[in-house]
A and B are shown apart, each in its own frame.
Chain A
């Protein structure tokens, strides 16, 4: 019995030592529970904040793309270039006055002072210089000597934006 008591004493001393390090077990367990609850709450908050951040990042990306597009357009306006993807046609022709009107205007990306190509069978048959633009219509003069002798423009001829050569790059 004495041996058992001594062994128990040793065991209890070990337990006391451990308990002295951990403190009150119930209090510690309660603290762990509280900490776990806080961690769970933090996980939720992090998930929410991450979602919000992803949403903000997406909004920023969209806004920056939009800003980029608008800036490109503004730059195009400043440099006098019609929209590269412009596709329109000749609406009317005033041969005596040397100008035509186009079936599209500002809304389609036609720019005053920009150069356009009249295309027929994938070949440029004439060049136009836009002189005035309204929302849905534009007028352009025929660039002298761009139309081959004997050729005539026709209503419905396809008109596209001419690629502007960057002179500084060309040089």
Chain B
């Protein structure tokens, strides 16, 4: 049993030795690590101090930079604002220019339409010449209207003159015709159609159609010789009753049907 105890003691002693060696190694490592850590801590502390110092040195600069940055930010904002304003103005100007161009276009279109309407009437009308042209046309129209009215007055006068001339011509023509008809009757020669010796009248085969009137004195002829004179007492268009002028009769002569009568006094004019 003792052996076993010895063996156990030996094993425990061995184990303790091993454990002791291992713990020593761990302690050494931990010590080394602590030293390294201390060194590192020291270094870091130094660095932190340096950094703190540097920070302290840089802080005013940082503040200045911050202020500067603030200013710059403001400037940039102002520039941005100006830029926006300029862009707006530019947009406005562009819009205005477009509106102007559109208006120009409309004017050109109107002038083109106007020229199209006036095609063949007036040439090359522009906005400058149009009012003059319109005025000129109005004056032209007025002048022509006045001329037309004047001509109509002249026509009225000429019509009246022609009517007067025609009336005068008709009057004169009637005079000439009447005269010619009177003279035409100068050659009238009619035939005695019946004779009443007892009552002293005869019938002649011509009347007012041949120009006989109650004032017409008629000569009776036979074979170209005058044998008597008669005076119309009743006249019909184609027949005349005439009284025999016995004083004008040649002695022993009797008027007979078939004898001819002519005008005793031809019309002179």
A residues near B (Cβ < 8 Å) are: 1-2, 4-5, 8-9, 11-12, 15, 18-19, 21-22, 25-26, 28-33, 35-36, 38-39, 42-43, 45-46, 49-50, 52-53, 56-57, 59-60, 63-64, 66-67, 70-71, 73-74, 77-78, 80, 105-106, 111-113, 132-137
Determine which residue in B90, B100, B103, B269 has the highest number of CB atoms from chain A within 10 A of its CB, and name it.
B269
Cross-chain contact B121 with A32 (CB below 8 angstroms): yes
Residues of A within 8 A of B187 (CB): 134-137
Residues of A near B117 (CB, < 8 A) are 26, 29-30, 32-33
Task: Name the residue in A22, A32, A42, A53 with the highest tally of chain B Cβ atoms < 10 Å from its Cβ.
Answer: A32
- In the complex the two chains form, is A12's CB within 8 Å of B100's CB? yes
Query: In the bound complex, do residue A59 and residue B162 qualify as a contact, i.e. CB atoms below 8 Å apart?
Result: yes
Q: Are B169 and A36 in contact (CB under 8 A)?
A: no
Q: How far is the CA of A21 from the CA of B104 in the complex (A)?
A: 18
Interface SS of chain B: helix, strand, loop or mixed?
helix
CB-based contact B141/A35 at 8 Å: yes
- In the complex, the answer to whether A133 meets B266 with C-beta atoms within 8 Å is yes
Selected from A32, A53, A70, A113, the residue in CB contact (under 8 A) with B134 is A32
Whether B107 lies near A15 (C-beta < 8 A) is yes
Stretch at the interface among B6-14, B40-48, B74-82, B176-184: B176-184
User: B119 — nearest CB in chain A belongs to which residue?
Assistant: A33
Contact: B266 with A12, CB < 8 Å? Answer: no
0 or 1 for each of B113-143: is its CB under 8 Å from A? (1 = yes): 1100110011000011011011001101100
Tell me if B118 and A33 are in contact (CB < 8 A). yes
- B151 interfacial by beta-carbon distance below 8 Å: yes
Q: Are A29 and B114 in contact (CB under 8 A)?
A: yes
Select which of A11, A66, A134 is within 8 A of B183 by beta carbon.
A134
Chain A residues with Cβ under 8 A from B103's Cβ? 12
Known: A46-B148, A71-B172. A106 touches B183 (CB 8 A): yes
A161 CB → nearest B CB, Å: 16
Contacts A8-B104, A29-B113, A135-B184 known; 14 new A-B pairs at CB < 8 A: A1-B90, A12-B103, A38-B141, A42-B144, A43-B144, A46-B144, A52-B155, A53-B154, A63-B162, A71-B172, A77-B269, A132-B266, A134-B183, A134-B187
A-B contacts counted at CB < 8 A amount to 154
Alpha-carbon separation in the docked complex, A2 to B90 (Å): 9
Nearest Cβ on chain A to B141's Cβ, whole angstroms = 5
| CB-CB nearest in chain A for B94 | A1
Chain A, interface SS category: helix
Which chain B positions have C-beta within 8 A of A63?
Answer: 162, 165-166, 169
Q: Select one of B113, B128, B134, B137 contacting A39, CB under 8 A.
A: B137
Please, which residues of chain B bring their CB within 8 A of the CB of A111?
A: 269
**B interface residues, Cβ below 8 angstroms from A:** 90, 93-94, 96-97, 100-101, 103-104, 107, 110-111, 113-114, 117-118, 121-122, 127-128, 130-131, 133-134, 137-138, 140-141, 144-145, 147-148, 151-152, 154-155, 158-159, 161-162, 165-166, 168-169, 172-173, 175-176, 179-180, 183-184, 186-187, 266, 268-269
**B211 to nearest A CB, angstroms?**
12
How long is the Cα–Cα vector from A52 to B96 in the complex, in angstroms? 64
Across the interface, do B180 and A31 meet the contact criterion of CB distance under 8 Å? Answer: no
Q: B87: shortest Cβ distance to chain A, in Å?
A: 13
**B111 partner, pick from A25, A74, A106, A137, beta carbons under 8 A:** A25
* CB-nearest residue of chain B to A70: B172
Given contacts A15-B107, A35-B137, contact A134 B93 (CB under 8 A): no
Smallest distance from the beta carbon of B26 to chain A beta carbons, Å?
86
**Whole-angstrom distance from the CB of B38 to the nearest CB of chain A?**
76
**Would you call B111 and A53 a contact (CB within 8 A)?**
no
- Indicate if the CB atoms of A18 and B140 lie closer than 8 Å: no
Residue of B nearest to A106 (CB): B183
Q: Which residues of A contact B130 (CB under 8 A)?
A: 22, 25, 28, 32
Q: Which residues of B contact A64 (CB under 8 A)?
A: 165
- Enumerate chain B residues within 8 angstroms of A73, measured Cβ to Cβ: 176
